[in-house]
Every structure is written in structure tokens, then in C-alpha cells.
Amino acid sequence: MRTIALTTLLVATLAVPASSQEVALPSPSSEAGAAAPVEELGGTWRRMAAAPFGAVEVPGGWTGTELVLADPIGKRRAASYLPALDRWSAVARPPRKLLAGSETHWTGTELLFVEPRGTARRGLTLYDPVADEWRTTAPAPFNEIADSAWAAGALVVASAAGALAAYDRESDAWAELPPLPAARLRSLHSTGEVVLAMVHPDEGAELAFVSLDGEAGTWGEPVVGPLTAGSAPPLWIGDAFVSIAVPPELQPSEAASSVPGEVVEPGAEPSPPSTEPVLAVGASFHPASDAWTAIDDGCGIDTGGAVWADPLILDVDRQLGVDPRTGQCFTLPGSPWPEREGAFRVWTGNEVLEVSGDAGGARPRRDGVAYDPYPGGDSLGVALDKGSRPVRVTIPSLGIDLPVVWDGRKVPGSSPGYPACDVALSWSAFDLPGEPGTAWILAHAQPGMFLPLLETLDSKGKAALLGREVQVQLRDGRVLTYRTFRANPRATNTNIGSRGRKADEHRLVLQTSTGIGSAPKLLVAARLVDVATTDEPRPKPRPRACG
């Protein structure tokens, strides 16, 4: 079977050596019922600030820096959450109320919402977090979308009847895809570069993976594996799909105890907590080599609700984890929040976030909890809302890296308050970075300073200045990461720093020249998205008078 990447609509072959894609998942155990060794993973839990609304299966997605959720049952509204700040903020109103259970895909610049029932002919909905704007796509070729997958710039969707189509975001166009041959679609999946279908072949009970040959316009032959209709949805772990499910006979009853997989009779006392996992069954599939590997001992996790937190698969409901390359099992510390159904769950790169859902109350919960399995390696927990002087500003994507000096610093040959060369200047008339408000940093449009901002504007336009990360190192060792969201290439006032800013919002404005003297300035505004600490020494500024 050839796996074909989707670029624009359907082109190009995935050229990855099979040997580099193999995952050494645990082989079937030689002793029936044998349990994998168990260790305590540790890690830390924290309660999240309450969201503005809650729902079961709330539609939302992760952009790489923030979580965006839409309200499916109350007002037409949406909100974003920044984990590093533990703060929710309202965002622009969606063009319509999004349905609970919507699938969401991050395209690299927008969140693409695919609603589950009877809405596709109105078009799909996209949200741009940089511009804080929503838009809708061209109408889909069928009304009800049963499943979807995003890969290499295109979305593949399936109707409830099994029809398939692809959407190209750049051209806002749909294209019909060929039907699956002699197979019934179960679900669509993505490796990030390739979309595959999991199908039920006409003969036999086993499931199979099949991919589309974009060059030939046909589906390949199904690769049948050991999974069946009762298997858990596969989880992509970077180089393989893994499906593990706890067998029905080992599922906990409604009077479940705290022991994963234990069945408790009504009225009976639950057993004390145990670190012994239950036997789980499943398999992994490696697209690069079309190879299946059976898994007899999966530590008792269920990939249907798990997340891939490299190098572990984490099932936070059962508070278990597994290293799929070694078979090592882990127990997680107990969660500080009640069990619930239909919570939104996502891995941010630092934490597993669980938000909302139903815990048996009259209304869905608005609270959330975050689990960090690898404490000490991320930026969470660093203090905010305390100002400190900036000592360095960098924009990695533009090659800008400058020491920052206070505007009261005297530079021989330079007028007081006038920016010196080879440094950036922090304007004391504005707020200190690290506290709510607007910080202001300016530098000349000269080589080695802020010239790349002006050159980017002149060559690519204002939009090319948006969505860029700006890092500001402070004297107290913190590093603040901002993301640019607004630019004014001909500013004659400072309104960009205050327009629409909420009281607790952290902003940064970068300023550079567009000409000589009092010519309008180029201003770029950014919002704080992350905070960390660094042990890098402060850069030593060597300001000089500019001629």
C-alpha cells in the first residue's frame, strides 16, 4: 500500500524509510494475563481558572499557545485560555453557535471546526487567533459530516453515507474523492502528512487501514490487522497508530472503585487503591511499513480517551500511563477534581488540560484541571503581575536580538531620551513588562536593530508582521513571550497600545521609524502568551550615539 501526502488537494508521496518509522511496542506476553511492571510517574495537578461557560463535548481546539472554546448551549460566544497565565479571555463572537461534539483541526494559522450534524452545507467555520476573526468556508458537497481528518494543507471529510471529499483552505474549494472499494468506513485519521481511513472490509471482522493514492486517484488495498469493531479509536503517537481498550469484562461497574478496571458489586465496599494494571488488548499500525504489532499488555489504559504526551500515552481518567516503546506502565497521582463525562481534553506540550463536562449536576461544569507529568521542564508556575525592567528583546523569525536599556540612560553624544544605536530603548512613560498594562520598546530602523520590521512591511505587507513571537528577557530572570496581533505602519499616536486592552491584559508595543525626524512610526502590538525563566546572563549593552 502506498501512502500519499495531501498537498493542496492530493499530491506527492510520503518518502520516509520504513526502518526510521518502526516503533518497538510490547509484543504479546508469553504468559497469559501477565501484567507489565508498574512505576509511579509523579507529576503535579493544578486547578484551572473557571471558564466563562461549560458544556458536555464543548467544541474547541489548541493553537500551540492557547485553548479556544466555543459555547454550544448558551450565548453565541467563545473564549481563549492561556495556560501560562491561567487566564480566560473573551474572543470575537462566532458567526453562529457551534454544535457540541464538533471536531477541530489546527491548520497552522486557523482553528477549523467541523460540526457533526446537518450543518456542512452552510460551510465550515474557521477562527484566526492572531486577527481574532471568524470566517466560514464554501458549502460542503454534503450536509452531514460523520468524520474528518486534516493533513498537509487539506481537510478530508466523510458523509454519514460514506461519501468522501477534500477541502483546500487556500482556494476555498471542495473536490470529490473516490469511494472506498469493497469496504465500509469506520473513521478517518491523520499522520499530519497523510490521511488514512480505518475500514471494515466486506469479509471478516477485523479492521483495516487504507490510504488514498493521490497520483492515481484511487484507494490502495486494505491492510488488515487484529483490531475489531469493539476496539478503541487509534491514537497517533508520531510514527504509529496505537489502539488499546480495556475488555468489557474488565470494565468498572457503575459503582466503580478507585482501582483501574475493578468490578464492584452494588453495595460492596471498594478495594483500596492498587497499582496493579488490568490486561488491555489492542495493536499498533505503522503506516511507513504497513506493519501491525499486536499488544496484549497495555497497562490497563484506553486510547479512546488518552493523549500522546511524548514519550508516554496518558489515560488521565484511569490515572495510568504507558511507554509504547518499552511497555513500561505508570500510575499517576490522584486528580483533584471529580470524575465527569464529556470533558474536553488536550495535550499542550507541557500539560494535559481537562475542561468542563458533566459530573452529574444540573449544569455542565465550568472548571478544569491540568496535569503536568514532567514537572521542572516547562514555564508554568512562574510569577506574573510584577513588573521588571527589560534587558533583551528578540524576534527569532526576523533575526532581531538586541540589548534593552532604560530611556533614562545617558549616552555620550546622544540627546536625552533619543534612542541610541546598537540597543533598544524601553520607554518609561509606559508600564513595565511583567505587570498588566502596555510595555513599549523602540529602536531605529537600522541594520542590527529594528530594520527587519520595516523591511518585512515593505516587502510583504502588514499581515506579514502578525503572528510572530517576541521574547523579552527581564532583569529578574523571567522571559516573557508575546505574539504580535496588530500593526500600524503610519502611526501618529500611541492608541495601538490601549485600544481594546482589558484591565488584566499584558501588551507590548514595538516601535521603529519609517523616515527621518517626526515621520509616522511603524508600531506593532503584541499580547503575552507565555512566561518562563532563564539562567542566561543579561546581555551587556554598548549603546552609541546615532548620527
Name the β-bridge partners of 404: 424
Measured in Å, how far apart are the chain's first and last C-alpha atoms? 66
Q: Is the dihedral of CA 330, 333, 339, 340 positive or negative?
A: negative
**What is the predicted pLDDT for the residue at 181?**
75
Residue among 325, 225, 238, 239 nearest 282 (CA): 225
Using DSSP bridges, classify how beta strands 67-70 and 78-82 pair: parallel, antiparallel or unpaired.
antiparallel
Given the C-alpha cell 501491525, which residue does it identify?
292
- Could you write out the DSSP letters of every residue in 271-337? PPP--PPPP-EEEEEETTTTEEEEES--TT--GGG-EEETTEEEETTTTEEE-TTT--EEEPPPPSS
Give, for 48, the enclosing helix (H) or strand (E): strand 44-48
Residues in the chain predicted with pLDDT less than 50, given as ranges, are 1-34, 250, 253-280, 378-380
Q: Under a CB-based contact definition with an 8 Å cutoff, are residues 81 and 129 in contact?
A: no
**What is the predicted pLDDT for the residue at 4?**
31
Which positions ≥6 away from 514 have C-beta within 8 Å?
445, 454, 489, 490, 520, 521, 522
Name the β-bridge partners of 147: 158
Cα 57 → chain centroid: 17
Q: Residue 273 has which C-alpha cell?
A: 487503591
Number of neighbours of residue 460 by Cβ within 10 angstroms: 10
Number of neighbours of residue 53 by Cβ within 10 angstroms: 21
Q: Under a CB-based contact definition with an 8 Å cutoff, are residues 389 and 474 in contact?
A: yes
Name the β-bridge partners of 353: 346, 370
Q: Under a CB-based contact definition with an 8 Å cutoff, are residues 447 and 421 in contact?
A: no
Q: Under a CB-based contact definition with an 8 Å cutoff, are residues 508 and 526 in contact?
A: yes
Which positions ≥6 away from 250 have C-beta within 8 Å?
261, 263, 278, 279, 300
Taking each continuous run of H as one helix and of E as one strand, the counts in the chain are 1, 38
Residue type, 15: A
Name the β-bridge partners of 340: none
Distance CA 230, CA 194 (A): 25
Q: Is the dihedral of CA 369, 375, 377, 381 positive or negative?
A: positive
Give, for 394, the enclosing helix (H) or strand (E): strand 390-395
Distance CA 533, CA 478 (A): 4
